[in-house]
Amino acid sequence: MLLLTIVLLTLPTILYLIIQWNKSYWKRRGLDYIEPLVFYGNTKKVFKRQEPFAQAFANFYKYFKGRGQRHGGIFLGPKPTYVPVDVEIVKNILQKDFGHFVNRGIHVDEEIDPLSAHLFNLEGEKWKNLRTKLTPTFTSGKMKMMFSTMRACTTGLSGILDEHTKSHEPVNIKDVFARFTTDIIGSVAFGIDCNSLKDPDSDFRRFGKKMFLLPKKTPKDLLEIFLSRKLLSKLGVRNKRTPQDVEDFFMDIVRSTVNYRESGRVFRPDVLHLLLQLKNRGRVADDEKILPDAGEKPADSMTIEELAAQCFIFFAAGFETSSTTMTFAVLELSLNQDVQERLREEIVKVLKSHGDEITYEAIMEMDYLDKVIQETLRKYPPVAVIPRQCCKDYKIPDTNVTLEAGTFIIIPVKAIHHDPDYYPEPEKFDPERFDEENKAKRPPMTFLAFGDGPRICIGARFGLLQAKVGLVAILKNFKFTLNDEKTKMPFEFDAHATITSVKGDVWMDVTRLEEIN
């Protein structure tokens, strides 16, 4: 009884000392930091879904920069997290000293969660080997190969807008673009006609929505916040992040499509064809074969689970990021009619020189279109933070601060993109920020919409291309103005979404140009 009493009296004291010791983590390392709360650290609003993750880190960035600091420390829950402010430090992390920061620090359990073992999550040699295999899949030559499939999906997009011009009803452009990019990715990644533009409740659209909603925190999620990966492994705690119905849907789609292609030796110019070459031949080739020749012994081939995981992330990263970029672009064009008109003039002029056909070469000639997209990504980066984890002790150059192996790092992309030192009047939409002269004035690492360094987004070319194709297809024929009766302005960002997204819908009034003229 006495022993129990001593334990009960001592335990709170021990717990208090542990908490205080953890709270002093950054102070002991001589780094400026923000005093944390117990349990929540500095991210209480994020945990309660009251503030987007990116906005919280934009606030941290402003706090440290306002104090004249090159970097600072915060607590993501109880975990000490490093926030770089100086873009030279960002450059060291992403490029120069990449070997210390190869990993994102995202736990992958391939056995119980096979779809999580994709390029974005993988670490170390597994990531390096897979990146090497997949790089040939996203060359400009491969983009040309897939272009006709992208362009074919614009017919349904224009059809929907035509219906709204005839009915004079506003269109929910956010939803339409999500359906459009779902159809493109479904076709290019899986070789399947998703019919999302015709059927807003199609399975691909339904499961696509589900993938980007932040799930409710489970006890296992909370354990991951407090305990190290090594300790969780010893305790036998395994956490499956992909909802089972989502996994079942995508695995069934991949298996049935792979079986169909392999058994019939079917060729289709898409990503799945290239992944099938990796699976069966161990390499990407410029031919229509998906199976090895007689006597050919492919090395380092890909398993069906690995193939499915890459299809999964390609679908996830491809449809949502591009659709939100297109949504924000049209939103800004509706608010800046002079920019919309100038872009339309370029589109019409370039297409005229290509026989009024949307071709890959025509898209590549549209310089102002590229500036509009870049400025949209600057103002609204879809992935607004870049996570990293230090894999071996690292002394920050020209400082006395050393990051321990295992330390989490969050690079605040949105904050850098909105820093007036790099982009004067950052809330103003100005595509001319991205002419060659203005770009040359800015230091490296001030535009990170796709990341940078060896882990730069492998699908950047594809994402840009599908967004451009969609915008060209609609802007050549339609004028957009914001329907401010149905669209909440000023809009808010969705704190429940993992990708930068407008909270609620974005409604546009659409007019065919022939009606205006």
Instruction: Name the binding residues for heme.
Output: 457
3-state secondary structure of 402: strand
SS3 content of the chain, % helix, strand, coil (to 5): 55, 10, 35
The dihedral sign for the CA sequence 475, 478, 481, 486: negative
DSSP per residue over 169-183, as a string?
Answer: --EEHHHHHHHHHHH
Pairing mode, if any, of strands 171-172 and 507-512? antiparallel
Burial of 416 (0-12, 13-18, 19+ CB in 10 A): buried
Q: Which two tokens stand for residue 416?
A: 């850098």
Helix (H) or strand (E) holding 481: strand 478-482
Torsion, CA 333, CA 335, CA 336, CA 338, rounded to 10: 90
- For the annotated binding site, the residues are 457
DSSP per residue over 199-262, as a string?
Answer: -TT-HHHHHHHHHTBPPPP-HHHHHHHHS-HHHHHHTT-----S-HHHHHHHHHHHHHHHHHHH
* CB contact set of 58 (below 8 Å; sequence gap of 6+): 384, 412, 414, 415, 418
**CA gap 479, 348 in Å, rounded:** 13
Helix (H) or strand (E) holding 446: none
Contact 207, 178 (CB under 8 A): no
Burial of 215 (0-12, 13-18, 19+ CB in 10 A): exposed
With CA atoms as reference, report the closest residue to 74 among 27, 17, 107.
27
With CA atoms as reference, report the closest residue to 513 among 480, 472, 482, 479.
479
Q: How far is CA 212 from CA 65, 295, 305, 494, in A?
A: 31, 44, 21, 11
At residue 313's C-alpha, the angle toward residues 79 and 189, to 5°, is 175
Q: How many CA atoms lie within 13 A of 4 on its CB side?
A: 1
Contact 124, 101 (CB under 8 A): no
